[in-house]
Structure 1
Amino acid sequence: MKKATWLAGSMAVLALTACADQNTESETNTGAAASDGNVNQADEENSEANNEAGEEETVSEDALEIEFWHAMGGGLGDTLEELVADYNASQDQYVITPEYQGSYEELLTQYRTVGGTETAPGLVQMFEVGTKYMIDSGYITPVQEWIDRENYDISQLEENILTYYMVDDELYSMPFNSSTPVLMYNKDMFEAAGLDPDNPPETFSEIAEAARALTNEDTYGFSMLGHGWFFEQMISTQGVDFVNNDNGRSDLATEATFGGEEGLRVFEWLSDMTEEGTMNYYGRDWDDIRAAFQNEDVAMYMDSSAGITGAIDNAPFEIGASFVPHADEIERNGVIIGGASVWMSDGISEEEQAAAFDFMRWFNEAETQADWHMNTGYFATNPAAYELDRVVEAHEDVPQLTVPITQLQETIPSSATQGALISVFPESREQVVTALEALYQGTSPEDALNQAVEGTNRAIEVSNRAAE
């Protein structure tokens, strides 16, 4: 077999099964997607077992092998490897070899050490907040080069997913696993509290009012994971950029812009519910907040759209799903896509890039995306997948799956909903979460928000100075 990149051992095709989640995306086997990256030990052991199983497979000696680094463990890792196995079986020219690298943060760290060298993978999955780093790294070939070369029609793909990865009308990577946040709620508790389970709250004040009705000695009304992704969404849905210069898309971002009245509305809303005792904070671990919901310790919480199926499968009660809450003062603008995309490494041969692009093109086919959507809960990058009979039937059985699709497709295109491009996004998210945790401990909304802004500005300044 011809090698496209160095491999630490001989791996090949893995054909398994699955479903589940991205822990914002570092997937756990509980079913969600957003962007954070904590894979538990069971996930790692599962992936190791998958790799061992894969080593027993054989592939054609004439096939060109392309290494594909990814951050999906557990059930999602199984599903990804099944998808790759399907591609490998569909033709005999190329073999895509998936290699699990841990969480998104761990994957980014690993790629930084090998990018631009002979040991770099031909394909790499990267979470959305790594986009700016990947563009600036010099380690990648924009996928637009192959789109133009092959006359590939990207208009068939979901526009509100593509826009995140577009800069100056150029697509840099191919969207892969995409999600948005949703409000999840316990319909049984809504009925018991005298609330309409088919008319969930939409605004900050409506959430606060419902939380009061739902809170009792056993249950909190509302909770939100300690993850900056959710705060970013509640800024974007107010039509406000996270950083200046059109969210870092018209020029290099130099400062945070989320510290105005829009950011304060979010911090005050969370602070008020915390002081009232209608909101409880369960920390930064996706498993903890999901367990609290399943155990009926909390009636409403924010999750990833890719967590819907897992929640429904595991809950002993009926679950509702609704749009991201928005401030009362504004009309909803929509959401920013989360998840990850697949990038093509620079420096590999033209033949290897052709193989990488062939795989990208294949996984965006409607039939492939239908399976991906139903098995994981992620969006179909190709909306034609939603029109296939088996997907229509699945949506009839689980109508909650249509909520994030509608939310995404109703999003108003703008720099706010397109998402920010900053190389220090992971650091900014850490600043936001630290500030929110201070808020929950009694720091005033103004002081906590300023803490997040100042921390983000310091990170941006240091990064920009280093890039000069």
Structure 2
Amino acid sequence: MRRRTFVGGGVLLAVSALACVASAAEIPAKVDTPVTLNYYNYNLASAGVGAEATKRLIAEFETAYPNIKVNGVGVSSSEISTRVQADLAAGRGPDVAQMVFSDFDFMVHNLGAVALEDIIPAAELSAHFEGIAPRGLKLGVYDGKTYGLAYTFSTPVLFYNADLFRKAGLDPDHPPKTWADVKTAAKAIVDKTDAEGIATGIFGPSAGDWLFQGVIRSNNGDVLSPDRRTLTFEQAPAVEAVTVLKDLYEAGVYTNLDINAAMDAMAAGTVGMYLQTSAVQGYLLKGAKGNFELRATTMPRFGDKPVRPNNSGSALVIMTHDPVKQRAAWELMKFMTSKHAYTVITSEIGYLPLRTDIVNDPQYLGNWVKDHPLLQPNLEQLDVLEPWEPFPGPNYRQIVKTMMEGAEAAVFGGGDPAAALKEAQSTAQALMPATTN
């Protein structure tokens, strides 16, 4: 599928000029002279294990590649595309960027991200791609070329407090599998304990729309037409899904907390269930240790419909158009998506190992996985993974905001889901590009 580029003239001209320079020179086979890479990474902007693990991986890379210095720049996930755009307009920018998948369309078609097939020999690409989960590898493919390698990445899982399940008369060995099951379990927890029933990471200022998209898809809906011209979140499947969430809230079993408050409540043992990215499992396990038994299962289904989770997380993207830096950037990307790096990313941060052959290998994750069963729901869902759909055009973030505010108003604000989503879609559709191709 081809997509039209919409971008400010100054940035477009700069990117086009750089692309011409890159096409006139071949990428070298190795880095023989000192070079410094600017690496924009949102894990570096976080506190705790994400930043620590990333810094250690960078240090290990620099030891292995003494000619390559990595200047790690911490930028929050919600600001990284805006930062890249501003820095490019100012004549500077990242050589490699950790891009959130919702920003991907804009990066590829507006900010000059580099397709790996355009700069890396085919045999070298094929060798590195071997062993990466096919559904994960496809996430970075646009217009038939690979613009990014999935990096820190997860699917939504339903965390639950096994101790609260027992107190509520529920069997923690048979967790909820459908939204109807969730309602039953949440009501039992509310009625028989002092805890809240369920919280989610679907809504809130920093939530994005990745989890919401997975919920809609699991009811056989979608948010965007296949030709990427028309928004579809006002259609019946989305309305039905939002109505289910609204029903949970009105039944008094779905607590309206923002992401941080919900995560803190789950870690403190005051919420029975929490639907969120598996990336928070390290934080939850730390809170649960010595206090309660934390477990996880797959995201809930709508009746007999198969669950259709989509990914959260990011991909690594080459932004530089300098051939020497492109080689250095590719070496960094390979290192950060190696068996060793994915072992660190999974065991220390909590993301999926996209090289699934390391899961049972004792040299990598084999022994760790035996002691950490919370990884299993993520691995199960990797086989049915669907991509987080990025909206096209320069107004993509406003489109997401409009959609999510409409859905949130319907769930927590007492509005009619059909009317709220119809109004939100009408507003958001006006923000879509006039044409895409």
Structure 1 residue runs of 5 or longer lacking an equivalent are 1-60, 246-250
State the alpha-carbon separation in 2 of the partners of residues 350 and 149 from structure 1. 16
> Which AA in structure 1 matches 2:56?
E
Is the aligned partner of 1:454 residue 2:429? no
State the alpha-carbon separation in 2 of the partners of residues 181 and 464 from structure 1. 33
State the alpha-carbon separation in 1 of the partners of residues 318 and 365 from structure 2. 30
Deviation sequence 1:167-217 (CA, Å, 0-9, x none): 243111122111111111111111111111011111111111111111137
Q: What is the deviation of 1:163?
A: 1.8
Retained in 2: the 8 A contact 1:431–1:451?
A: no
Match of 1:419 among 388, 391, 414: 388
Structure-2 residue corresponding to 1:243: 224
Structure-2 residue corresponding to 1:441: 413
Q: What is the deviation of 1:450?
A: 2.0
> Which AA in structure 1 matches 2:421?
L
Deviation sequence 1:14-52 (CA, Å, 0-9, x none): xxxxxxxxxxxxxxxxxxxxxxxxxxxxxxxxxxxxxxx
> Which AA in structure 1 matches 2:391?
I
Please, what TM-score do these two structures have when normalized by structure 2? 0.83
Retained in 2: the 8 A contact 1:88–1:95?
A: yes
Structure-2 residue corresponding to 1:406: 380
Retained in 2: the 8 A contact 1:267–1:445?
A: yes
Is the aligned partner of 1:167 residue 2:142? yes
Q: How does 1:4-403 map to 2 (within 5 A)?
A: 62-72=33-43, 73-75=46-48, 76-101=50-75, 103-115=76-88, 118-149=91-122, 151-153=124-126, 154-216=129-191, 218-225=194-201, 226=203, 227=207, 228-245=209-226, 251=227, 253-283=228-258, 286-315=259-288, 316-332=291-307, 334-347=308-321, 349-389=322-362, 390-403=364-377
Q: What is the deviation of 1:293?
A: 1.6
Deviation sequence 1:36-82 (CA, Å, 0-9, x none): xxxxxxxxxxxxxxxxxxxxxxxxx9521111011222121222111
> Which AA in structure 2 matches 1:224?
T
Q: What is the deviation of 1:454?
A: 2.5
State the alpha-carbon separation in 2 of the partners of residues 93 and 149 from structure 1. 25
Percent sequence identity over matched residues? 20
State the alpha-carbon separation in 1 of the partners of residues 162 and 282 from structure 2. 16
State the alpha-carbon separation in 1 of the partners of residues 331 and 119 from structure 2. 10
Q: What is the deviation of 1:129?
A: 0.3
Retained in 1: the 8 A contact 2:268–2:287?
A: no
Retained in 1: the 8 A contact 2:96–2:320?
A: no
Q: What is the deviation of 1:278?
A: 1.3
Retained in 1: the 8 A contact 2:398–2:428?
A: yes
Retained in 1: the 8 A contact 2:211–2:310?
A: no
State the alpha-carbon separation in 2 of the partners of residues 329 and 213 from structure 1. 23
State the alpha-carbon separation in 2 of the partners of residues 170 and 62 from structure 1. 29
Retained in 2: the 8 A contact 1:366–1:383?
A: no
Retained in 1: the 8 A contact 2:278–2:378?
A: yes
Retained in 1: the 8 A contact 2:38–2:70?
A: yes
> Which AA in structure 2 matches 1:370?
T
Deviation sequence 1:112-132 (CA, Å, 0-9, x none): 112376412211111010010
State the alpha-carbon separation in 1 of the partners of residues 194 and 170 from structure 2. 18
Retained in 2: the 8 A contact 1:176–1:340?
A: yes
State the alpha-carbon separation in 2 of the partners of residues 239 and 155 from structure 1. 32
Retained in 2: the 8 A contact 1:370–1:388?
A: no
Retained in 2: the 8 A contact 1:116–1:346?
A: no
Q: What is the deviation of 1:219?
A: 2.1
State the alpha-carbon separation in 1 of the partners of residues 56 and 151 from structure 2. 15
Retained in 1: the 8 A contact 2:81–2:107?
A: no
State the alpha-carbon separation in 1 of the partners of residues 430 and 158 from structure 2. 32
CA distance 1:451–1:301, shift in 2 (3 Å): farther
Deviation sequence 1:412-438 (CA, Å, 0-9, x none): 6xxxx2332323443233223312332
CA distance 1:125–1:66, shift in 2 (3 Å): same
Number of positions where the alignment pairs a residue of Structure 1 with one of Structure 2: 390
Structure 2 residue runs of 5 or longer lacking an equivalent are 1-31
Retained in 2: the 8 A contact 1:322–1:403?
A: yes
Q: What is the deviation of 1:388?
A: 2.4
State the alpha-carbon separation in 2 of the partners of residues 236 and 242 from structure 1. 8
Aligned to 1:257, the other structure's residue is in SS state coil
Deviation sequence 1:316-346 (CA, Å, 0-9, x none): 21111111112115223x3212101111114
Retained in 2: the 8 A contact 1:140–1:343?
A: yes
